[in-house]
Amino acid sequence: MTDTTDGEPDQEAHAQDGVPTQQQTSSEQVRRPLGGGDPGGNVYHYTSAAGLVGIVNSRRDADVSRRLTFFASDVLGMNDISELAFGLEIVREHAERLAQGGEQQEFFESWLPILEKYLGTPTLDTLRVAPRPCVCAVSFTSGDDLLSQWVTYGSGGGFAIGLAPETLRGATYTSSNIRTAEPKTFKCSLGRVYYGEDARAQSAEIPLFTSAGAQALAAVTGLQGMVSAFQALMTRVKDPQHRPAPAVVEHASAAMAISIAAWYKHDAFKPEQEWRLLVGGGSRGDLAELLSGNHPPEFRAAGLRLLPYRPVTTTAVADQPVIRDLVVGPAPDQVPLVHAAQQLLLANGHDPSVVRASTIPYRGW
């Protein structure tokens, strides 16, 4: 992509003959759905037997047949303790550069503390000052039979559910506003995760981090703040207790940063080949609303851990199968596991012929 630096002409030029200017293109970049990319085939979610049942097992009627439900986890509970914080460092590098005497210096100087508050690694002291909002996601990978995944997520076994990207791009999360009891459906976005220096190189191509893009970033963030403020006002009017509105302008600013940082991770996790389904990633307005606390997550226990999550559902696209592939992980006897997985799919309206056994000769039991 072309970088627009100080001193280059035509930043303020108008579109001619239907050709957009760089500033218009940058503004469109701000508004477009988060994530992106094409994995070139199915993506896979590795899980245990209990996880597979929870994802696939739906009520057996025509309205919900072939629906899948994933528990999108709070990213702070994932295996990378630097989640969001690594992406924050990359976003901060660009923001600090753009804050050095540019036209949007004031915006970026006020933006940086918000980034630290919502994306920085939390500590006991910062959590005492203010709780961190939940940013939830589901992890997938482009690898269909990865030893590292069987060891980590399947305890030496488990299952890998293969889905088409277009199926996941239709995934949604539905929640009721705790102030008004009004339901809302949030769209999710699927995107490739970049690691280490690859993440830095990819971020340098984002039009938002050019001079023209910085203007669009400031303008659209301000506009989203006004929209969020209006929505918060309407929510307070409908709230029987008329509770004070959350920090909506901060949430709009944080959502813009999260929409970038959520796709960057430490280089040590590169073998995971992750594709991430971000809850609320369908728009930055949705993401800002989720940060408000009006749609709190649900909770489950896993051993001694308390895990926030948001249930994400996806269904068939037209007449296409929801589950394109189901790999049974390494196990002492895969025959009964393949049989049981086929029966689970049959019972929930899926094609049992997609079940197959891993060919990796691993003993993890």
Domain range list for the chain: 22-357
- Whether residue 18 has pLDDT greater than 50: no
Whether 21 and 14 have beta carbons less than 8 Å apart is answered as yes
- Pick the residue with more confidence: 134 or 218? 134
- Pick the residue with more confidence: 32 or 172? 172
- Residue 326 confidence (pLDDT): 98
Whether 343 and 170 have beta carbons less than 8 Å apart is answered as no
- Pick the residue with more confidence: 34 or 301? 301
- Whether residue 267 has pLDDT greater than 70: yes
Q: Are strands 305-314 and 274-279 parallel, antiparallel or unpaired?
A: unpaired
Task: Provide the b/e sequence for 315-344 (b: ≥16 CB within 10 Å).
Answer: bbeeeebbbbbbbbbbbeebeebbeebbeb
Q: Are strands 355-357 and 325-328 parallel, antiparallel or unpaired?
A: parallel
- Pick the residue with more confidence: 121 or 270? 270
From the CB of residue 227, how many other CB atoms can be counted at a distance below 10 Å? 15
- Whether residue 298 has pLDDT greater than 90: yes
Question: pLDDT band for position 30 (50/70/90)?
Answer: very low
- Whether residue 24 has pLDDT greater than 50: no
- Residue 321 confidence (pLDDT): 87
Strand partners, 174: 185
The structure tokens listed for 220 are 């659209």
Q: Which of 71-85, 99-113, 229-243 has the largest mean confidence?
A: 71-85
The structure tokens listed for 348 are 């929930």
Q: To the nearest whole percent, how much of the chain has pLDDT over 90? A: 34
Question: pLDDT band for position 4 (50/70/90)?
Answer: very low
Looking up tokens 């477009």 gives 32
Question: pLDDT band for position 28 (50/70/90)?
Answer: very low
